[in-house]
Structures are given as C-alpha cells and as structure tokens.
Chains A and B, each alone.
Chain A
Amino acid sequence: MIEGVRAWLAREPRVRVVAAVDSPEDLDRESLAAADIALLDLNLGGRTRFDNIGRLTGAGLKVIVYSQFTDQDTVLRVLSSGAREFVAKNEGGEHLLGVVLAVATDEPYVTPTTAGALVADDAADRPRLSERERTALLLWFQSKSKAAVARRMRVSPHTVDMFIRRARLKYSQAGRSAHTKSDLLARAIEDELVRPEDLLDDTTGGD
C-alpha cells in the first residue's frame, strides 16, 4: 500500500516523501522538521486511532486522513479532530494528490466521500449550507464528475467547485476544525472564494 501511495505522489514534482513509518511515534526529529503534511491511515495495527490526528497536528503537521472506513461518522469525526481533509482509499491517486496539493497551499478540497458525509450530516451544530451548496455536495457524492454535476445544476464546473469548497469552508468556520480555520479562511479570501463581509453573516451563501 505504501509503495502505491509513493508512486502516486512521485508523479508530482512539487511533492517529496520525507518519511514513511508504521506509527507516529516512529517519526524522528529531522523528518518532523522537514515535513509539512502527514498522510495518516486511521487503522494502525488493527485498531482505529483518532488520537493520532491530534498528536500529529500538535507536532505542527497538516494531517490528511487516508482510510478505508468511509462511513459518515468516521469522516465527520476525522474532520472535527483537526485533520485538514479526508480521502477514502478507494478514491485513488488522483484525489490523493489533489488533496495533498490543496492542503499544502491551505485550500479546501472535498473528495466525493467527504461530500457524502457532509451532506448527510444532521448534527445540531452543523453549518447552514445554502440549497445550491447542499445540492452540489449531494451530486458530487453521487457522480464524482464536476462536469456532470455542472450540467445537472446548469452552472459552470468552476461554480460547482466554488459551491463545494464554500460548503467545506463553512464546516471549518463552524469550529469543527480549529486548526484549519484561520489558514483556510485567509486563503479563501485571497482566492475570492468568499468575501470578508460574507463572514459577518453566517447564513449568507449560495450564488
């Protein structure tokens, strides 16, 4: 599995694998200092470990969780534990690389699996998404083709992408992942994904 991940990441010259270890405890000081991102498998040694997320973010790393457990509870718990993003193992190299690059530049990235978990979230503290943000998440979960989603919603693929990233941003804003909040927001404003005045009114959304 690790070799496959290495091969996927090697396709992108901007990515360099610093270390590959069996457990966060095995990371040495130099690797920790050199790395920006930790790609974490939740299931280590047969047990599902959420506490490793906090351990790695505490060490200053941006954590991406890479797991075969794609149920809603796991995905939402991963995001609320401070991980930047979640990638399902069945989603393949393209999404994995996309997430790594997005997280490195503090941008939101939503995989179809994550979209499914976000759109089905019915917790009391879930952020209020606009109808179109919600629809975009739902359709993205179903088809994982932004072009198809765009045709269905009769908007451009760029707009679909914006709806999805805004929805993710609202989740960060809702305080589910305090670690990612400020970086993501700063970057989102830079990218004109949101305007600063949008942030004053939590309910503003959509197009």
Chain B
Amino acid sequence: MSGEARAPVAVFRYRRIVELSVIAVAVSWHFGVNLGQLAGHLPAYRNPVLPLVSWCGLGVITAVGGASLFRGGRGSRLAGPLAVVALACSGLTTAASLPGDVIGPLSWSWGTVGWCGLVLLLRRPSWALAAFFAGNIGLTAAFLAGAGQFDRVAAARFLTVVCTTTGIQLCVVLMDRLMRRITLRAVNADDERVRLLAASIAARQVHLRRRSRYAYLAAEFEPLLRGLADGGLDPADPAVQHRCALSAARMRRLWAETDETVDPLLHELRACADIAERRGVAVEFLTSGPLPVLPPESRRLLTEAPLEVLTAARTRARVTVLGDADAITLSVVADVDPATAIPPREHRKLTVTAQWEEDELWIEARWALPSALSSSTTTPS
C-alpha cells in the first residue's frame, strides 16, 4: 500500500482515540457533573426554568455532536449553527445565575460548554474551535462586566477557571493536531525506508547478475580473444571460426537475456538464429504449446547444445520448440560438419539426445518441468 493510501488509515486510527476520549468526557461531564450541579442548586436560580432548558439543550447538542463524531467524517453540517446554539444555552444559565455567581457553581455551563464545542468542531478547521472558545470567554467576560464585578479578584478567578477548563480543552485539540502531523511524518518516513530498502535490494541483485555475466563472458571469450591476439589461434582454421561463431551466438544470447519480453526463451533463440541466418543458413523456426518462463541460468543450459548445432549449420536448420505439461523440448536438425561434437550436458532436469542422419545432426534438449514428476498426460501403450 502506498504512503498516500496508508496515511489516512494510520491517522484515523490514532485520532480515533482522541475522538472517543472527547465523546466520553463530554457525555460523562454533562450527564454526571453538570446534572449534579444543576440539581443541587436549582432553587438558588433567579428562574429555574432557564438553566433546565439550557441543560437539556446542551445535552441534545452533545448527543448529536457525539454521535456525528463517533460515525467519523467531517461532522454534521449543522455543527456551526449548533455551536452558536450551545453558546446561547450556556449564556442562558449564566444569565439565570445571581449577579454574584457568574463565576460559581450556578454558572456551571460556561466552563463545560467547551466539551460540547469539541464534539461538534473537532473535525473542523482549528479557527472554528478558536472562534468558539473565544466566543465563550468573551460572553462570560461580558456577563462579568455587565454585573459590574470585574474587579481584580474576579478577574483572577476568571482567568484561573479559563485556564483549567478551556486550557485542558485546547490541550486536547493540540494533541489531536500533533498526532495527525506525527503520524503522517511517520508513515512517510516508513515509506521512504521501504523504498530505499527495495532500491538497495534491486541494485544488489543487478550487481550480482552483472558480476555473474561478466564471469561467464570472461571465461568464455577471454581465451579466444587472447589466442587470436597473440597468434596462438589461426583465424583461417575452421575450428577457430566455429568457436568464434559459437561465441558470437552466446554473446547474442547473453544480450537477449536482459531484454524484457513475454517469451525470453524464444527471444534468445531467435537472437541466436539471427546469427546463423546472417551466415546464409535457412532457419526454419517452429513453436507449439505453452512455454513457462525458466530462469536465465536454466535457459542457458537448455539452449547450449542446440546452439552449438545451429552455429555449425552449413545451409539449413530446423529449430522446434515445444511446450507441454511435462517439459520444454528444444530441437535442432541441421546439416553440419561431421566433425561437430556434442559435449555432454549434466543437469538433473536436462536430457540431451543426439542422432546423426547422414550429414544432418538432430539434437533434442529436454527440460523437465516440475509437473512432470507428479503426473503423466499419456496412457501406457
């Protein structure tokens, strides 16, 4: 999964904890602490109906906001208007308190309405929450000023309550926003780590492959080139010419190995057949059946003996490749020099059969597939 796809999942998972905590605090605070304060002081209000209405209103808003937050998403479309109603409800309680009790148990709501705001606006931009908190503080300050109680002691008490209520709520918001940023950064860092790891593994594999190809090339071509350079090998000697042609075909096969094709075996064989065709050999190339992709080393082993016959062909060659459930069978029939020798191939999955027909050599290389060991497609005769 890419970083873009994983990030929201991870962020959702961490922020979910904050969301559930906010819902739990808001609900338990309103239906526990607030209800207790309301019930205990109901007779003390100037008009007991107003705080009752306020409590009920805030309860409904907390429930609606909590449910919306619980379901996820960006929250109810009514969050903004409901936040304004919540502030109005809170103001109602404060208005119903005695002027001396703006900061006291009777005006319980202005300290706790912040939780209501959190369940409504946690998923909204931070400025919405800031406006809500500012509105609440401003409203309460206005009540205090209106009641003519804004002396030094009241201001200090007011600030203390703001710090202990709105401060905690702001901490929750801060935690939520930080959690989101940290999670995103962690996911991106992890993606980068995985990307670097994959790149380093790929680079290492490419390097190893190159080294193995270089080793093969060195063992194959260096003695030939050295012999030609120091005069130890005579370019006029047909045996040397055959060696050169074979090396050219092998080099061509090696180049073809790195090409991206659907059928690498056929691709490499065609590259080798090209070399023979350039020498004027009429190559007939036939394939049938499905050809599973073998690893490059296996393909090199399988094509080696047919390649030698193809390289030795004088005028004509018939190349057939057949895939079935048991094996990949590669065959070359060509008119070759009678001196052409077929070196033995040793691999438990490879069987090479050679047969002379006058001046034609017929070679068959058969690579057994894993399925051949467990099943047979023919009936015994």
Collect the chain B residues with CB atoms within 8 Å of residue A72's CB.
288-289
Q: Is A138 an interface residue (CB 8 A)?
A: yes
How far is the CB of A157 from the nearest CB of chain B, in Å? Answer: 13
Judge whether B331 and A143 touch: CB under 8 Å.
yes
Q: A130-B378, A148-B362, A207-B381 are in contact. Are A142 and B320 (CB under 8 A)?
A: yes
- Chain B neighbourhood of A144, CB < 8 A: 318
Q: Is A81 an interface residue (CB 8 A)?
A: no
Q: What per-residue 1/0 map shows which CB atoms of B324-360 lie under 8 Å from chain A? A: 1100010101000000000000000000010101001
- Number of A positions contacting B (CB below 8 A): 34
One of B286, B325, B378 near A141 (C-beta < 8 A):
B286
Residue of B284, B288, B290, B324 with highest tally of chain A CB at under 10 A: B288
Chain B interface residue number, banded: 20 to 34
Question: Is B99's CB within 8 Å of the partner chain A?
Answer: no
Contact of B288 with A129 in the complex, beta carbons under 8 Å:
no
* Cβ proximity bits A116-127 to B, threshold 8 Å, 1 near / 0 not: 110111100000
Closest to B376 in A: A131
Which of A113, A143, A147 counts the most B-chain CB atoms under 10 A from its CB? A143
Chain B residue, CB-CB nearest to A112: B286
Q: How far apart are the CA atoms of A25 and B290 in the complex, in Å?
A: 36
Pair B362/A131 contact, Cβ less than 8 Å: no
A206 interfacial by beta-carbon distance below 8 Å: yes
Beta-carbon contact of A205 and B286 below 8 Å? no
Q: What is the bound-complex CA distance between A113 and B156, given in angstroms? A: 101
Asked if A205 and B379 make an inter-chain contact with CB atoms under 8 angstroms apart, the answer reads: yes
Are the CB atoms of B287 and A71 closer together than 8 Å?
yes
* B interface, over-half SS: strand
Residues of B within 8 A of A134 (CB): 378
- Cβ of B320 and Cβ of A206 under 8 Å apart? no
- The yes or no answer to A195 lying at the interface (CB within 8 A) is no
Given contacts A90-B284, A131-B381, A141-B286, contact A148 B357 (CB under 8 A): yes
The answer to whether A145 touches B357, judged by C-beta atoms less than 8 angstroms apart, is: yes
Tell me, yes or no, whether A132 is within 8 Å of chain B by CB: yes
A70 beta carbon closer than 8 Å to chain B? yes
Q: How far is the CB of B181 from chain A (nearest CB, A)?
A: 58
Which A residues are CB-close (under 8 A) to B57?
none
Nearest-CB residue, chain A, relative to B333: A143
Asked whether B362 lies within 8 Å of A116 as measured between CB atoms, the reply is no
Contact between A70 and B286, CB atoms less than 8 A apart: yes
Cross-chain contact A119 with B290 (CB below 8 angstroms): no
Separation of A113 and B323 alpha carbons in the complex (Å): 14
How many whole Å from B284's CB to the nearest CB in chain A? 7
The answer for the CA separation of A122 and B381 in the assembled complex, in Å, is 19
Does A128 interact with chain B (Cβ within 8 Å)? Answer: yes
Q: How far apart are the CA atoms of A122 and B318 in the complex, in Å?
A: 24
Give every chain A residue within 8 A of B290 (Cβ-Cβ). Answer: 120, 122
Q: Give me 22 A-to-B residue pairs in the complex whose CB atoms sit less than 8 angstroms apart, sorted by A's number.
A: A70-B288, A71-B287, A75-B288, A116-B286, A116-B289, A116-B320, A122-B290, A122-B325, A129-B378, A129-B379, A133-B381, A134-B378, A142-B318, A142-B322, A142-B331, A144-B318, A147-B357, A148-B333, A152-B353, A203-B379, A205-B379, A206-B380
Besides A112-B286, A145-B333, 20 other A-B contacts (C-beta < 8 A): A70-B286, A71-B287, A71-B288, A72-B289, A75-B288, A116-B288, A116-B289, A120-B288, A120-B322, A120-B324, A131-B379, A141-B322, A142-B331, A143-B331, A143-B357, A203-B379, A205-B379, A205-B381, A206-B380, A206-B381
A-binding residues in B (CB < 8 A)? 284, 286-290, 318, 320, 322-325, 329, 331, 333, 353, 355, 357, 360, 362, 364, 377-381
